Amino acid sequence: MRFSEIIGQEEIKERLLKSFYDQRIAHALMFLGPEGSGNLALALSFAQYISCPQKTESDSCGTCPTCRKFQSNQFADLYFSFPYFNTDDRDMSDHFSKEWREVLAESYNFDTDHWRNALTRDNKQLIFGVKEAASIIRKLSLTSYEGGYKFMVVWMAELMKTETANKLLKIVEEPPEKTIFLFVACSIDSILPTILSRVQVIPVPKLSDADIEQALEKEGVSADQASAIAHYADGNWWKARQLSKANDPNILYSTQFIEWMRICYSRDVGKIARWVESMNEKTREEKKDFIVYALDQVRQNLMLNYAGEGLVRMNTGERDFSVKFSRFINELNAIELMNELNDAHRDISRNALSTIVFTDLSLKFHRLLIRQPETTP
C-alpha cells in the first residue's frame, strides 16, 4: 500500500518520512489509533516505503517488483502476528494465515469484529497464545530473504497475554539487525507497560468527517449520503465503508427506530418480543450501529424539542416522525435514555445476550418515555 492510498493522516505520513530521512527509524514502533483510523495501513505503507528501491521523496513507487509483492502481501520479509481463537491444534497465528490473507486482500482497515467473523461466528476470545512468541522469535532469526529490512507487524497488540509478551521483551528491546517491529493497537489502556516502554508510540487520530466524506465521494457516494454516513461512522473508515455498502443505512435504521419507539411507548409486550427477535438476527456490529444511531436520534430529538429545526441533522423521514415524537424527549428523560443506550452498547460489545439487553432496554425506554413534564392547564 502506498501512502497516497491512505485516507487523511498527512501529519503521520510526514512524521514517518522524516524519521526515514533523518535515519532515525525506531526498531519498534506502535501505531496507536482507533479502529478504522488506518493504523494498520500506515504500518504497511511505511514498510513498503522503506523497502521500495525506486521510492520518491514522498511515496513508494507502487510498480516495482518489491512494491508489487507488498501489495499482494507476498513480500517474504514481511511477517504478521495477530490474535486468534486458541485451540489445541491451532495455537499460532500461522494456523490462521489463510483467513488473514483473505481479510487483508479485502481491506487494511477492518476491525476486530470482522476478523472474528472471518475466523468463525463463534464468540470466543481472541488472544495471542504463548506459542506465538516462540513463532515470532523463530521467524525473526531467519536471514532476510529479500536482502533488506525484515518487518514483524503485530496487529491488535493489546490482546497479547502477559505470558506471551514477557517472552518477547528481549527481542522487542533488541531485535536482530535490520528488523523492525510494527505494532498496531487501538487502546493504550490494555497494552502491557513492559511492551509500551520498549516502543516508540505513534498516536493515530480518528479520521475527520471531511476526510471520510471526500473518500466516500471518490467512490461514487453522493455528497448528501456521504455526509450522513460520515456523521454515523465517527471517524471510522471501515464503518463508513460498511454503511455505504448497505442499501440505504439511514432508511434502514430509521424505520427500525421509529417502529421501536412506537412499541416502547405502547408497551406492547408481544411486539417488543418480536422486535427483540429481529434485532437478535443482526450481527453484533449491526446491533452496535443501531444503538449508535438511536443515541444520535435521541440527541437530535432533544435539540428539535428545545432549540428548533436549525441545529438538527435529520433526513426527511426522520423529520416527519420527529415533528410529533420530539416532545417525548425532554429534560426529565434525555440523559437517562442516553445512559441506557450507552450501557446497552457496552453490554453488546462485551457479548451480553442481545435478547436480554434489548428487552431490558425496551422496558426502560417505556418507563422513561412516559415521564413527561407537567403541562400547564
Sheet strands side by side (includes 28-32): 78-81, 150-155, 179-185, 28-32, 200-203
Q: Which of 17, 25, 26, 64 binds Zn ion (CB under 5 A)?
A: 64
Biggest CA–CA distance in the chain, Å, is: 85
The reply to whether 246 sits near Zn ion by the rule CB under 5 A is: no
Q: 17 vs 61, which CB is nearer to Zn ion?
A: 61
Closest to 365 (Cα-Cα) out of 255, 266, 254? 266
C-alpha span between 222 and 216 (Å, rounded): 8
Instruction: Pull the grid cell for residue 265.
Output: 411507548
CB of 264 to Zn ion, least distance (A): 57
Taking Cα atoms as reference points, which of 15, 6, 29 lies closest to residue 183? 29
Q: Which three cell numbers stand for residue 189?
A: 489502556
Q: How far is the CB of 60 from Zn ion (least distance, A)?
A: 5
- At its nearest, how many Å lie between Zn ion and the CB of residue 292? 40
Output 147 or 373, the one with its CB closest to Zn ion. Answer: 147
**Residue 243 and residue 36: Cα distance in Å, rounded?**
13
Residue 67 or 279: the one with the smaller Cβ distance to Zn ion is: 67
Q: What is the spatial distance between Cα 82 and Cα 100, in angstroms, rounded to a whole number?
A: 9
Q: Shortest distance, CB of residue 54 to Zn ion, whole angstroms?
A: 5
| Segment 32 to 61, residues that bind Zn ion, using CB under 5 A | 52, 54, 60-61
Give min distance, CB of 14 to Zn ion, in A: 20
Q: For Zn ion, which is the closer residue by CB, 69 or 139?
A: 69
Which is closer to Zn ion, CB of 71 or CB of 227?
Answer: 71
Instruction: Give the CB-side neighbour count of residue 361, counting CA atoms within 13 A.
Output: 30
Which residues in this chain contact Zn ion in the complex, by CB under 5 A? 52, 54, 60-61, 64, 67
